Amino acid sequence: MTVAAQQGRDKCRTPMQWAGDANGGFTPVGVTPWLPVAPNAGQGINVAEEQQNDESMLAFYKRLIAFRKAHMELQTGEFVLDENTPASLVKYERISGAEKITVILNMSAESVQMQNEGYKEILFSANTALKQLNPQTIQLDPFAVLLLR
């Protein structure tokens, strides 16, 4: 406990950045927070600015959560990992009854091409400009995420 008391976790935490003003909107101006506010609070890294940007991380997670809520197979479906993929890809299926969604993640900084195994529709995507599927191959951009049916 002595080491924990000496080192603690304070060095790896900062107050929530609610706004771009002094103290990130975490405490009123003139009040010194227990932990220092990260210096990027006034540089667009705060909730107020994220709420105004349809391409922000906050907006992305809101879309992702809404998508998950709309698809029961992602909530309670069986998880089936495909272990026959290149090392840079993670591919799995979520299956609930007759409904199935395939999730493919490119975990590398390189583009990866794979065979299209009959997928017809992109349900959700991130980090890719891909809008339609080629019937033969799927080109995954670096760090791309695809949810397919």
**81 or 14: which carries more pLDDT confidence?**
81
Q: Provide the residue type at 28 as one letter.
A: P
Q: Please tell me the pTM assigned to this model.
A: 0.77
* Environment class of 24 (CB within 10 Å of its CB; exposed 0-12, middle 13-18, buried 19+): buried
The domain ranges of the chain are: 13-66, 71-148
The CATH number given to 71-148 is: 2.60.40.1180
Residue with tokens 């009959």: 118
Contact 28, 55 (CB under 8 A): no
Query: Per-residue pLDDT tens for 94-125?
Result: 999 999 999 999 999 999 999 999 999 999 99
